[in-house]
Structure 1
Amino acid sequence: MISKLKGRIDTYGPDWVVIDVNGVGYHCFCSTKTLSVLPAAGEFGELFTEMLVSQDMIRLVGFATQGEREWFKLLQTVQGVGTKVALALLSTLSTAELAQAIALQDKAMVARAPGVGPKVAQRIVSELKDKAPAFAPADPALAKLQAEIGGPKPTAASDAVSALVNLGYGQSQAGAAVSAAMRKAGDDAATEQLIRLALKELALA
Protein backbone atom coordinates (compact mmCIF):
# COMPACT_ATOMS: atom_id res chain seq x y z
CA MET A 1 0.00 0.00 0.00
CA ILE A 2 1.42 3.39 -1.03
CA SER A 3 0.29 6.08 1.43
CA LYS A 4 2.75 8.90 0.73
CA LEU A 5 5.02 10.06 -2.08
CA LYS A 6 7.86 12.56 -1.89
CA GLY A 7 9.86 13.49 -4.96
CA ARG A 8 10.28 15.80 -7.91
CA ILE A 9 7.18 17.02 -9.75
CA ASP A 10 7.48 15.74 -13.31
CA THR A 11 4.39 16.76 -15.29
CA TYR A 12 0.88 18.05 -14.73
CA GLY A 13 -2.45 17.30 -16.39
CA PRO A 14 -5.93 18.75 -15.85
CA ASP A 15 -6.68 16.33 -13.01
CA TRP A 16 -3.41 14.53 -12.39
CA VAL A 17 0.27 14.92 -11.64
CA VAL A 18 3.28 12.65 -12.16
CA ILE A 19 5.74 12.72 -9.27
CA ASP A 20 9.22 11.24 -9.80
CA VAL A 21 10.43 9.31 -6.78
CA ASN A 22 14.00 8.07 -7.31
CA GLY A 23 13.48 7.65 -11.04
CA VAL A 24 10.04 6.05 -10.84
CA GLY A 25 7.13 8.21 -12.04
CA TYR A 26 3.88 7.83 -10.09
CA HIS A 27 0.72 9.03 -11.82
CA CYS A 28 -1.71 10.47 -9.25
CA PHE A 29 -5.22 11.78 -9.81
CA CYS A 30 -5.86 14.87 -7.68
CA SER A 31 -8.45 17.51 -6.89
CA THR A 32 -7.84 20.91 -8.44
CA LYS A 33 -7.29 22.31 -4.95
CA THR A 34 -4.42 19.85 -4.37
CA LEU A 35 -2.92 20.57 -7.79
CA SER A 36 -3.04 24.31 -7.08
CA VAL A 37 -0.83 24.04 -3.98
CA LEU A 38 1.81 21.72 -5.45
CA PRO A 39 5.11 23.30 -6.59
CA ALA A 40 6.06 23.87 -10.21
CA ALA A 41 7.36 21.05 -12.40
CA GLY A 42 10.98 20.27 -11.56
CA GLU A 43 10.61 21.17 -7.89
CA PHE A 44 10.18 18.78 -4.98
CA GLY A 45 6.79 18.11 -3.44
CA GLU A 46 4.88 15.49 -1.52
CA LEU A 47 1.47 13.88 -1.65
CA PHE A 48 -0.54 11.74 0.72
CA THR A 49 -2.00 8.98 -1.40
CA GLU A 50 -4.80 6.43 -1.55
CA MET A 51 -4.27 3.36 -3.72
CA LEU A 52 -7.42 2.09 -5.44
CA VAL A 53 -7.36 -1.48 -6.71
CA SER A 54 -10.02 -2.78 -9.07
CA GLN A 55 -10.30 -5.83 -11.31
CA ASP A 56 -8.60 -4.20 -14.26
CA MET A 57 -6.45 -1.41 -12.86
CA ILE A 58 -4.56 0.11 -9.96
CA ARG A 59 -4.86 3.87 -9.48
CA LEU A 60 -3.27 6.36 -7.13
CA VAL A 61 -5.15 9.40 -5.86
CA GLY A 62 -3.07 12.19 -4.32
CA PHE A 63 -3.92 14.71 -1.61
CA ALA A 64 -2.26 17.81 -0.22
CA THR A 65 -3.24 16.91 3.36
CA GLN A 66 -4.18 13.84 5.34
CA GLY A 67 -7.49 15.54 6.11
CA GLU A 68 -8.37 15.71 2.42
CA ARG A 69 -7.55 12.02 2.06
CA GLU A 70 -9.82 11.11 4.97
CA TRP A 71 -12.65 13.15 3.45
CA PHE A 72 -12.14 11.36 0.13
CA LYS A 73 -12.54 7.99 1.86
CA LEU A 74 -15.54 9.20 3.86
CA LEU A 75 -17.34 10.57 0.80
CA GLN A 76 -17.02 7.24 -0.98
CA THR A 77 -19.04 5.52 1.75
CA VAL A 78 -22.10 7.27 0.28
CA GLN A 79 -23.96 5.40 -2.46
CA GLY A 80 -23.44 7.08 -5.82
CA VAL A 81 -20.16 8.75 -4.83
CA GLY A 82 -17.16 7.25 -6.61
CA THR A 83 -13.65 8.53 -7.23
CA LYS A 84 -14.71 11.07 -9.85
CA VAL A 85 -17.51 12.60 -7.77
CA ALA A 86 -15.43 12.66 -4.58
CA LEU A 87 -12.63 14.53 -6.38
CA ALA A 88 -15.17 16.92 -7.92
CA LEU A 89 -16.45 17.72 -4.43
CA LEU A 90 -12.93 18.26 -3.08
CA SER A 91 -12.15 20.43 -6.10
CA THR A 92 -15.20 22.63 -5.53
CA LEU A 93 -15.28 22.87 -1.71
CA SER A 94 -12.52 23.02 0.85
CA THR A 95 -12.71 20.37 3.57
CA ALA A 96 -13.87 23.06 6.01
CA GLU A 97 -16.66 24.15 3.65
CA LEU A 98 -17.68 20.54 3.10
CA ALA A 99 -17.84 19.86 6.84
CA GLN A 100 -19.89 23.01 7.36
CA ALA A 101 -22.29 22.22 4.52
CA ILE A 102 -22.94 18.76 5.97
CA ALA A 103 -23.31 20.07 9.52
CA LEU A 104 -25.81 22.70 8.37
CA GLN A 105 -27.52 20.26 5.96
CA ASP A 106 -26.86 22.62 3.05
CA LYS A 107 -27.43 20.26 0.11
CA ALA A 108 -27.43 23.19 -2.34
CA MET A 109 -23.81 23.96 -1.48
CA VAL A 110 -22.81 20.30 -1.96
CA ALA A 111 -24.66 20.22 -5.29
CA ARG A 112 -22.36 22.95 -6.65
CA ALA A 113 -19.81 20.26 -7.48
CA PRO A 114 -19.95 18.98 -11.09
CA GLY A 115 -21.71 15.64 -11.35
CA VAL A 116 -23.46 15.98 -7.99
CA GLY A 117 -27.22 16.09 -8.48
CA PRO A 118 -29.85 16.95 -5.84
CA LYS A 119 -30.41 13.30 -4.86
CA VAL A 120 -26.71 12.56 -4.33
CA ALA A 121 -26.26 15.87 -2.47
CA GLN A 122 -29.16 14.95 -0.18
CA ARG A 123 -27.64 11.53 0.51
CA ILE A 124 -24.26 13.10 1.31
CA VAL A 125 -25.59 15.58 3.87
CA SER A 126 -27.97 13.00 5.38
CA GLU A 127 -25.65 10.00 5.59
CA LEU A 128 -22.57 11.92 6.75
CA LYS A 129 -24.19 14.24 9.28
CA ASP A 130 -23.12 12.01 12.19
CA LYS A 131 -19.71 11.11 10.71
CA ALA A 132 -18.54 14.51 9.47
CA PRO A 133 -17.86 16.18 12.87
CA ALA A 134 -14.86 13.89 13.41
CA PHE A 135 -13.32 15.28 10.22
CA ALA A 136 -14.28 18.93 10.71
CA PRO A 137 -11.67 21.55 11.66
CA ALA A 138 -11.80 22.59 15.30
CA ASP A 139 -14.01 25.69 15.57
CA PRO A 140 -15.78 25.89 18.95
CA ALA A 141 -17.92 28.83 17.84
CA LEU A 142 -19.19 27.03 14.77
CA ALA A 143 -19.80 23.83 16.72
CA LYS A 144 -21.84 25.78 19.26
CA LEU A 145 -23.76 27.50 16.49
CA GLN A 146 -24.57 24.19 14.79
CA ALA A 147 -25.85 22.79 18.07
CA GLU A 148 -28.04 25.85 18.58
CA ILE A 149 -29.48 25.70 15.07
CA GLY A 150 -30.56 22.13 15.73
CA GLY A 151 -31.75 22.87 19.27
CA PRO A 152 -35.38 23.08 20.44
CA LYS A 153 -35.38 26.83 21.19
CA PRO A 154 -34.31 29.72 18.96
CA THR A 155 -31.17 31.56 20.06
CA ALA A 156 -29.59 34.85 19.04
CA ALA A 157 -27.19 32.93 16.79
CA SER A 158 -29.84 30.80 15.08
CA ASP A 159 -32.07 33.88 14.67
CA ALA A 160 -29.15 35.73 13.06
CA VAL A 161 -28.57 32.86 10.63
CA SER A 162 -32.27 32.80 9.78
CA ALA A 163 -32.26 36.56 9.15
CA LEU A 164 -29.29 36.30 6.79
CA VAL A 165 -30.90 33.41 4.92
CA ASN A 166 -34.03 35.56 4.50
CA LEU A 167 -31.79 38.25 2.99
CA GLY A 168 -30.73 35.78 0.31
CA TYR A 169 -27.51 34.29 1.71
CA GLY A 170 -26.97 30.52 1.67
CA GLN A 171 -27.34 28.59 4.92
CA SER A 172 -23.66 27.60 4.97
CA GLN A 173 -22.51 31.12 4.07
CA ALA A 174 -24.73 32.61 6.77
CA GLY A 175 -23.57 30.06 9.35
CA ALA A 176 -19.90 30.81 8.70
CA ALA A 177 -20.49 34.58 8.97
CA VAL A 178 -22.43 34.29 12.24
CA SER A 179 -19.77 31.93 13.59
CA ALA A 180 -17.13 34.60 12.89
CA ALA A 181 -19.38 37.22 14.51
CA MET A 182 -19.74 35.08 17.63
CA ARG A 183 -15.97 34.85 17.99
CA LYS A 184 -15.76 38.65 17.98
CA ALA A 185 -18.85 39.52 20.01
CA GLY A 186 -18.98 36.66 22.49
CA ASP A 187 -21.67 34.12 23.33
CA ASP A 188 -24.00 36.67 24.94
CA ALA A 189 -24.25 38.98 21.91
CA ALA A 190 -27.74 40.04 20.83
CA THR A 191 -29.21 38.98 17.50
CA GLU A 192 -28.96 42.48 16.03
CA GLN A 193 -25.26 42.74 16.91
CA LEU A 194 -24.52 39.35 15.37
CA ILE A 195 -26.36 40.30 12.18
CA ARG A 196 -24.39 43.55 11.87
CA LEU A 197 -21.05 41.82 12.42
CA ALA A 198 -21.98 38.93 10.13
CA LEU A 199 -22.91 41.33 7.33
CA LYS A 200 -19.50 42.95 7.68
CA GLU A 201 -17.88 39.51 7.40
CA LEU A 202 -19.90 38.78 4.26
CA ALA A 203 -18.94 42.12 2.75
CA LEU A 204 -15.25 41.24 3.22
CA ALA A 205 -15.63 37.76 1.74
Structure 2
Amino acid sequence: MIGRIQGTLISINAPKLLIDCNGLGYEVDVPMSTLYQLPPIGQKLTLLIHFHVREDLQQLFGFATDAERDAFRSLIKISGVGARTALAVLSGMSVNELVQAITIQEPGALTRVPGIGKKTAERLLLELKGKLAPDLGHGQNKSSKPDVASEITQALLALGYSDKEAHLAVRQIPADVNVSEGIKLALKSLSKG
Protein backbone atom coordinates (compact mmCIF):
# COMPACT_ATOMS: atom_id res chain seq x y z
CA MET A 1 0.00 0.00 0.00
CA ILE A 2 1.25 3.48 -0.85
CA GLY A 3 1.02 5.91 2.10
CA ARG A 4 3.23 8.81 1.02
CA ILE A 5 4.83 10.13 -2.13
CA GLN A 6 7.79 12.46 -2.29
CA GLY A 7 8.98 13.70 -5.64
CA THR A 8 9.04 16.49 -8.19
CA LEU A 9 5.83 18.12 -9.34
CA ILE A 10 5.74 17.69 -13.13
CA SER A 11 2.29 18.98 -14.08
CA ILE A 12 -1.03 20.15 -12.67
CA ASN A 13 -4.27 19.36 -14.47
CA ALA A 14 -6.73 19.92 -11.61
CA PRO A 15 -7.59 17.82 -9.76
CA LYS A 16 -4.84 15.56 -11.13
CA LEU A 17 -1.12 16.01 -10.51
CA LEU A 18 1.79 14.21 -12.10
CA ILE A 19 4.64 13.58 -9.67
CA ASP A 20 8.03 12.20 -10.72
CA CYS A 21 9.59 9.89 -8.15
CA ASN A 22 13.03 8.86 -9.42
CA GLY A 23 11.85 8.43 -13.00
CA LEU A 24 8.46 6.91 -12.18
CA GLY A 25 5.48 9.23 -12.73
CA TYR A 26 2.48 8.96 -10.40
CA GLU A 27 -0.90 10.50 -11.23
CA VAL A 28 -2.47 11.71 -8.00
CA ASP A 29 -5.90 13.31 -7.53
CA VAL A 30 -6.00 16.03 -4.87
CA PRO A 31 -8.69 18.24 -3.30
CA MET A 32 -8.59 21.99 -3.95
CA SER A 33 -7.34 22.62 -0.42
CA THR A 34 -4.17 20.66 -1.24
CA LEU A 35 -3.96 22.17 -4.72
CA TYR A 36 -3.69 25.67 -3.20
CA GLN A 37 -0.68 24.60 -1.15
CA LEU A 38 1.40 23.13 -3.98
CA PRO A 39 4.88 24.38 -4.77
CA PRO A 40 5.66 25.62 -8.30
CA ILE A 41 6.08 23.04 -11.07
CA GLY A 42 9.57 21.55 -10.99
CA GLN A 43 9.82 21.77 -7.19
CA LYS A 44 9.86 18.91 -4.67
CA LEU A 45 6.70 18.03 -2.78
CA THR A 46 5.44 15.42 -0.34
CA LEU A 47 1.86 14.19 -0.21
CA LEU A 48 0.11 11.77 2.09
CA ILE A 49 -1.62 9.15 -0.06
CA HIS A 50 -4.79 7.11 0.04
CA PHE A 51 -4.46 4.18 -2.38
CA HIS A 52 -7.98 3.49 -3.63
CA VAL A 53 -8.60 0.10 -5.26
CA ARG A 54 -11.75 -1.00 -7.01
CA GLU A 55 -12.47 -3.93 -9.27
CA ASP A 56 -11.80 -1.92 -12.39
CA LEU A 57 -9.62 0.93 -11.15
CA GLN A 58 -6.66 1.85 -8.97
CA GLN A 59 -6.27 5.50 -7.97
CA LEU A 60 -4.01 7.58 -5.79
CA PHE A 61 -5.50 10.44 -3.79
CA GLY A 62 -3.05 12.91 -2.25
CA PHE A 63 -3.41 15.22 0.74
CA ALA A 64 -1.30 17.93 2.32
CA THR A 65 -2.31 16.99 5.89
CA ASP A 66 -3.28 13.95 7.96
CA ALA A 67 -6.57 15.66 8.81
CA GLU A 68 -7.54 15.87 5.12
CA ARG A 69 -6.67 12.23 4.49
CA ASP A 70 -8.53 11.09 7.63
CA ALA A 71 -11.61 13.09 6.60
CA PHE A 72 -11.46 11.58 3.11
CA ARG A 73 -11.23 8.06 4.54
CA SER A 74 -14.16 8.73 6.88
CA LEU A 75 -16.26 10.05 4.00
CA ILE A 76 -15.65 7.09 1.68
CA LYS A 77 -16.68 4.65 4.44
CA ILE A 78 -20.22 6.01 4.19
CA SER A 79 -22.47 3.93 1.95
CA GLY A 80 -23.13 5.69 -1.35
CA VAL A 81 -20.24 8.14 -1.01
CA GLY A 82 -17.51 7.45 -3.49
CA ALA A 83 -14.02 8.82 -3.77
CA ARG A 84 -15.12 11.54 -6.23
CA THR A 85 -17.82 12.80 -3.86
CA ALA A 86 -15.41 12.76 -0.91
CA LEU A 87 -12.89 14.72 -2.98
CA ALA A 88 -15.62 17.22 -3.94
CA VAL A 89 -16.54 17.72 -0.26
CA LEU A 90 -12.91 18.40 0.67
CA SER A 91 -12.54 20.71 -2.34
CA GLY A 92 -15.63 22.67 -1.34
CA MET A 93 -14.81 23.12 2.34
CA SER A 94 -11.88 22.83 4.72
CA VAL A 95 -11.64 20.02 7.25
CA ASN A 96 -12.35 22.52 10.03
CA GLU A 97 -15.49 23.71 8.23
CA LEU A 98 -16.59 20.09 7.80
CA VAL A 99 -15.99 19.37 11.49
CA GLN A 100 -17.92 22.50 12.43
CA ALA A 101 -20.84 21.48 10.17
CA ILE A 102 -20.87 18.02 11.79
CA THR A 103 -20.69 19.46 15.29
CA ILE A 104 -23.64 21.82 14.80
CA GLN A 105 -25.39 19.47 12.33
CA GLU A 106 -25.66 22.14 9.63
CA PRO A 107 -26.55 20.56 6.25
CA GLY A 108 -26.44 23.94 4.48
CA ALA A 109 -22.64 23.92 4.55
CA LEU A 110 -22.55 20.63 2.65
CA THR A 111 -25.28 21.47 0.16
CA ARG A 112 -23.06 24.22 -1.25
CA VAL A 113 -20.76 21.44 -2.51
CA PRO A 114 -21.69 20.52 -6.11
CA GLY A 115 -23.41 17.13 -6.23
CA ILE A 116 -24.53 17.12 -2.58
CA GLY A 117 -28.25 17.52 -2.04
CA LYS A 118 -30.08 18.15 1.22
CA LYS A 119 -30.82 14.47 1.93
CA THR A 120 -27.24 13.39 1.20
CA ALA A 121 -25.91 16.22 3.38
CA GLU A 122 -28.16 15.22 6.27
CA ARG A 123 -27.08 11.57 5.93
CA LEU A 124 -23.40 12.55 5.85
CA LEU A 125 -23.78 14.68 8.98
CA LEU A 126 -25.64 11.92 10.79
CA GLU A 127 -23.17 9.18 9.87
CA LEU A 128 -20.07 11.32 10.57
CA LYS A 129 -21.31 12.58 13.95
CA GLY A 130 -19.05 11.16 16.63
CA LYS A 131 -16.63 9.71 14.08
CA LEU A 132 -14.92 12.66 12.46
CA ALA A 133 -15.52 15.55 14.82
CA PRO A 134 -13.88 14.15 18.00
CA ASP A 135 -10.67 13.23 16.18
CA LEU A 136 -10.25 16.31 14.05
CA GLY A 137 -11.96 18.84 16.25
CA HIS A 138 -9.60 18.12 19.13
CA GLY A 139 -6.79 20.23 17.70
CA GLN A 140 -9.23 23.09 17.12
CA ASN A 141 -9.25 24.00 20.83
CA LYS A 142 -5.52 24.64 20.87
CA SER A 143 -5.74 27.61 18.52
CA SER A 144 -8.35 30.13 17.54
CA LYS A 145 -7.06 30.22 13.94
CA PRO A 146 -10.11 28.42 12.47
CA ASP A 147 -12.43 31.07 13.95
CA VAL A 148 -10.14 33.92 12.92
CA ALA A 149 -9.62 32.37 9.48
CA SER A 150 -13.36 31.96 9.05
CA GLU A 151 -14.02 35.60 9.94
CA ILE A 152 -11.28 36.80 7.59
CA THR A 153 -12.64 34.58 4.80
CA GLN A 154 -16.15 35.95 5.31
CA ALA A 155 -14.81 39.51 5.19
CA LEU A 156 -12.99 38.83 1.91
CA LEU A 157 -16.09 37.23 0.41
CA ALA A 158 -18.13 40.27 1.45
CA LEU A 159 -15.58 42.45 -0.36
CA GLY A 160 -16.25 40.52 -3.57
CA TYR A 161 -13.33 38.08 -3.68
CA SER A 162 -14.03 34.51 -4.83
CA ASP A 163 -13.94 31.51 -2.46
CA LYS A 164 -10.69 30.38 -4.07
CA GLU A 165 -9.00 33.78 -3.68
CA ALA A 166 -10.21 34.17 -0.08
CA HIS A 167 -9.11 30.70 1.04
CA LEU A 168 -5.73 31.03 -0.68
CA ALA A 169 -5.10 34.40 0.97
CA VAL A 170 -6.15 33.13 4.42
CA ARG A 171 -3.75 30.18 4.18
CA GLN A 172 -0.83 32.61 3.85
CA ILE A 173 -1.66 34.44 7.09
CA PRO A 174 0.34 33.59 10.24
CA ALA A 175 -1.58 31.68 12.94
CA ASP A 176 -1.19 34.28 15.68
CA VAL A 177 -2.85 37.31 14.02
CA ASN A 178 -6.15 38.86 14.99
CA VAL A 179 -9.00 39.39 12.54
CA SER A 180 -8.30 43.01 11.58
CA GLU A 181 -4.58 42.39 11.07
CA GLY A 182 -5.40 39.20 9.15
CA ILE A 183 -7.72 41.07 6.80
CA LYS A 184 -5.00 43.65 6.13
CA LEU A 185 -2.44 40.93 5.38
CA ALA A 186 -4.90 39.04 3.16
CA LEU A 187 -5.76 42.17 1.18
CA LYS A 188 -2.07 42.93 0.79
CA SER A 189 -1.38 39.43 -0.60
CA LEU A 190 -4.39 39.62 -2.91
CA SER A 191 -3.27 42.98 -4.29
CA LYS A 192 0.09 41.45 -5.27
CA GLY A 193 -1.64 38.64 -7.20
TM more than 0.5: yes
Letter in 2 for 1:105: Q
Residue matched to 2:135:
134
- Asked if 1:84 is matched to 2:87, the reply is no
Q: Report the TM-score, using the length of structure 1 for normalisation.
A: 0.67
Cα 1:20–1:106, aligned 2, differ >3 Å: closer, same or farther?
same
Superposed CA deviations along residues 153-192 of structure 1, whole A, max 9, x for unmatched, are xxxxxxxxxxxxxxxxxxxxxxxxxxxxxxxxxxxxxxxx
| Unaligned ranges ≥5, structure 1 | 143-199
Partners of 2:123 and 2:92 in 1: CA distance: 18
Aligned-pair CA distance for 1:135: 2.1
CA RMSD of aligned residues (A): 2.0
- Once residues 8 and 47 of structure 2 are traced to their aligned partners in structure 1, the CA distance between those partners, rounded to angstroms, is 11
Q: Per-residue displacement from partner, 1:41-97 (whole Å, max 9, x unpaired)? A: 101111100111111221100111111001000011222211111011100111011
Name the larger-Rg structure: 1
**Paired residue for 1:54?**
54
Cα distance, 1:98 vs. partner?
A: 0.4
Who is 2:114 aligned against? Answer: 114
Which residue type is aligned with residue 106 of structure 1?
A: E
SS at match of 2:139: coil
The question of 1:37 aligning with 2:2 is answered no
Contact in 2 for aligned 1:9/1:19 (Cα 8 Å): yes
| C-alpha distance in structure 2 between counterparts of 1:78 and 1:48, whole Å | 21
- Corresponding residue for 1:3? 3
Distance across 2 between alignment mates of 1:85 and 1:101 = 17
Is residue 98 of structure 1 aligned with residue 98 of structure 2?
A: yes
For structure 2, the residue ranges without an aligned partner over 5 or more in a row are: 144-178, 187-193
Paired position in structure 1 for 2:71: 71
Q: State the match for 2:155 in structure 1.
A: none
Alignment TM-score, normalising by the size of structure 2: 0.71
> What residue is the counterpart of 1:21 in the other structure?
21
Number of positions where the alignment pairs a residue of Structure 1 with one of Structure 2: 146
Shift of 1:130: 1.2
Q: Percent identity?
A: 37
What amino acid sits opposite 1:50 in the alignment?
H
SS at match of 2:25: strand
Tell me the SS of whatever aligns to 1:2: coil
Corresponding residue number in structure 2 for 1:178 = none
